Structure 1
C-alpha cells in the first residue's frame, strides 16, 4: 500500500491522528469484517449503541418536524431556545439544579461533539489536563487535537474506580487547566456520590481547576441508584461544567444531540468555538428531544432506560457465572467491565485483553472490546456492551462458556 506522500516528500496525514485513541478499535472492526466474511453468526457486544428505538411519540415528533418545509434552513438561524429551555427544566426536575438556558447552556451534536472540542475552547497548546485511565477514548483524543498534555489518573478496583485525589501531585494540580470525570463511568461502570464530588470541587477550587463531568449515563443507574449531578452541590456552577446526552438514556444515539451546562465562561467558550465550526443540531431533532425530555418530566415513575440494562445484566451475569466466569455486577451504564476469565486451555502464551477478544470472536462470533482500548489501566479486562436482547445474551454466554473450556478453539 502506497504511503500518502506527495512528490515533495510531504505526507498528507497529520501526526495528531496517531494520538486519537487506541488503534484497537480499528483492529476490532477488522476482526468483525473477517468474521462476517467467514459467515459467522456474530453477537456484537462491542459498541455501546442502544438496540432499542426512542419512544413512538419521539419518533412521531421527529417525523412530523422533518415534513415541515421551513425546518431545512441552517439550524443556527432558527430559535434553539425550546430545546435548551426543556433541558433546563429537566435539570431542575431531575437534579434540582437551576440553569439559565441562555447563558449557561450550549446545544451539542451529541456529548462527544462537546467532549472533542472543549479543550480547544478553554485551553492553549502546552496546557495540561487530568484524565481518567482507563477512559473513553475521545478524552485523550481531544487533548491531542488541542495540543494539551494529558496527566493520567489511574482508576483501580481497590479504590472503587475513583481517582485517588491525594496521589495527584501538587505540581500536577497546579499545571492542570481542568480535571475530567465520568460517573457513571464508561468503560468501568462505576458510580460516584456527592461526597466524592465535594472533595473534587474543594481540591479543584484550591488550584483554580475547572471540573468537567461527563454524565452521559445519568438515567442508567441500577439497584435503585440515581446518579447525581455535580451541579447539585452549592457553588458548583462556578467551578464545574457537565455534559448530558440524549443518546443512551433516551435511545436517541443516531440523532446526535446533547448539551453542556454549568460555568458560563467555559460554556460560552465552547459556544463561541462551535459557532465557527457548525450550524447546530438539525431542528427536527431538537424538537424530538424536547418531546423526550417533557415526557420524562411528565412521567417520573416510568421505568428509565437503566431498568432494561439492569435486567439484562442480571440475566447475562448469572448465565456467565454458570459457565465458569464470575464477574462483579456493575452498578450502572450499559456495560460490563470484566476481568479476563480463567481459561482452562493453554494457548502457549499469556492471555491479554487483545488476544482473548480476538480469539473469542474467531471461535464464538461474540464481539467484546479489549480493555487496553481505553488506556493502560484497562489491560486485564474486556468491556461487554449489553446491547442485544435476552435470548442473544444467553446464547453469547453459552458460546463464551464453551470457549473458556476449550470446546471452541480456532487454530
Structure 2
C-alpha cells in the first residue's frame, strides 16, 4: 500500500467517502441560493409540502416546550404515548394491527430506513431495489453493508415492476426486496392485486420486505393505498414498515419518523439508535402525537390541492413535443421522459443527458428540476408539484417555451 492510500493518510473513510450527496437536496439548495441572489427561480426539486404545519400540531409543540417533563432524556425508542398512538393510527389507516413494542420512533424516515437495513443486513446481502428509486435507498443499503440490485421499470408500465422482473433479479444472496407505493420519484401506485402478488412472492422465497408508506394518504382518482403486511399476513414476521409525519402533515422539518417490525429487529434497531442519536426531540414527538391522534381533515385539504396541481402539471408537460409524462397516481411528483429531447439543439446547446438538460433549464428558464440519473434512470426529470398553483403554471410555462425551441 502506498503512502498516499495508507489509512493514516486517508482523511475521509472509504465507506463515507463513497456516499453521494442527496441530489434532491442539492438541487433545492442551489435553487434557494439563486433566489437569494435575486434570480426568479422556481423550484420543482424538493419533495416537501408548501403548506404550513396545521395549527393544532404547532400548539401541542408550544405546550410541550413549557412542560419540564420534556426537558430531559426520554426512552431512546420513543415516547410510550406516541408509540401507542402510532399503533392505533396504523390499524386505522392500514388495517395492520401491531403492538407498541414493534415500533421505533426515529429522526425522520431516513433514519428509519438506515436503521432497518442496518438491523437485518450482513455484508454482501443483496437488496432488490425497483428503479426509479428515491436517492437515499441505495446509499442506506451500502452503508449497512448490503448490495443494492436495481430492477428498472419505465413509463410503459407506469413505473411499476413485475414479479417476473423481481424473480429474474433474485439470487442466493438476496435477502430483502424494497417495496414503495405510492412512489417517490414517480408517483406510481401498485394495485392491491399486484402488491399482494409481490408480497406472496417474497413469502415464497423467504425474503424480507422493507415497505415505505410515507405517502400513504396522498393517492388520487381511483388509486388506493395498500399496506403489504395487512394484505399478506404471512409476511409480517419478515416485514419492516417505514413511515412518518413529514408528508401527510406538512412536517418535513420536524424530523419524526418510525419503523414497525418484528420485536427482535426493532429491539436491535433501538439499540443502534440509543448509541447514534438517543431519543428524538421530545417537542417534535409531542407534535407528532397530536398529528397521528387527530383527524385527517387537514390532510384532505392538502390532497385536494395536490390533485389539482397533479392534473395541471401532467397536462402542461404532455403539451411539450418530446416529453412524455404518465399520470402519477400518488405522492406529489411527476416523472416525465425527456429522452426524445436529448441531443437536440436548445439555445445553441445539445444536452446529451438529463443532467445536462436540467442544467440548461436552470440557466435558461430559471426552473430547478432533478435529473433522472439521481434516481437510477437516465433520460427523465423529476418535478415536485408541491408548490403554489401560480408558481407551478409559471414554471411549466417557462419549460414549454424553452423546450419548444428544441430542433434537430
| TM-score w.r.t. length of structure 1 | 0.88
Name the residue aligned to 1:363.
364
Shift of 1:67: 2.1
Mark the CA change 1:78 to 1:205 in structure 2 (over 3 Å): closer, same or farther: closer
User: Matches of 1:197 and 1:78 in 2, distance apart?
Assistant: 30
Mark the CA change 1:77 to 1:115 in structure 2 (over 3 Å): closer, same or farther: closer
Shift of 1:69: 2.8
In the alignment of these two chains, the number of paired residues is: 398
Mark the CA change 1:31 to 1:258 in structure 2 (over 3 Å): closer, same or farther: closer
User: Matches of 2:268 and 2:188 in 1, distance apart?
Assistant: 30
- Whether the 8 Å CA contact 2:28–2:43 is kept in 1: the answer is no
Shift of 1:7: 11
- Whether the 8 Å CA contact 1:320–1:398 is kept in 2: the answer is no
Question: Structure 1 residue 308 and structure 2 residue 309: aligned?
Answer: no
User: Matches of 1:60 and 1:175 in 2, distance apart?
Assistant: 49
Shift of 1:193: 2.4
- Whether the 8 Å CA contact 2:318–2:324 is kept in 1: the answer is yes
Shift of 1:138: 1.4
Q: How does 1:237-386 map to 2 (within 5 A)?
A: 237-296=236-295, 303=300, 305-322=302-319, 327-340=325-338, 345-346=345-346, 347=348, 349-375=350-376, 378-386=377-385
- Whether the 8 Å CA contact 1:218–1:227 is kept in 2: the answer is yes
User: Matches of 2:374 and 2:169 in 1, distance apart?
Assistant: 28
User: Matches of 1:77 and 1:270 in 2, distance apart?
Assistant: 10
User: Matches of 1:291 and 1:336 in 2, distance apart?
Assistant: 31
Name the residue aligned to 2:157.
159
Judge which range, 338-347 or 196-205, deviates more.
338-347
Mark the CA change 1:235 to 1:116 in structure 2 (over 3 Å): closer, same or farther: same
- Residues 183-214 of structure 1 deviation map (CA, whole Å, 9 limit, x = unaligned): 11111110112222222222222322111101
User: Matches of 1:321 and 1:290 in 2, distance apart?
Assistant: 41
- Structure 1: runs of 5 or more not aligned: none
- Whether the 8 Å CA contact 1:306–1:332 is kept in 2: the answer is no
How much is the aligned-residue C-alpha RMSD, in angstroms?
A: 2.8
- Whether the 8 Å CA contact 1:353–1:371 is kept in 2: the answer is yes
| TM-score w.r.t. length of structure 2 | 0.88
Shift of 1:318: 3.3
User: Matches of 1:127 and 1:326 in 2, distance apart?
Assistant: 36
Alignment counterpart, residue 143 of structure 1, candidates 126, 141, 149? 141
User: Matches of 1:170 and 1:130 in 2, distance apart?
Assistant: 10
Shift of 1:238: 2.0
Shift of 1:83: 0.7
Mark the CA change 1:187 to 1:77 in structure 2 (over 3 Å): closer, same or farther: closer
Secondary structure at the aligned position of 1:260 is classed as strand
Judge which range, 243-252 or 157-166, deviates more.
157-166
Mark the CA change 1:108 to 1:8 in structure 2 (over 3 Å): closer, same or farther: closer
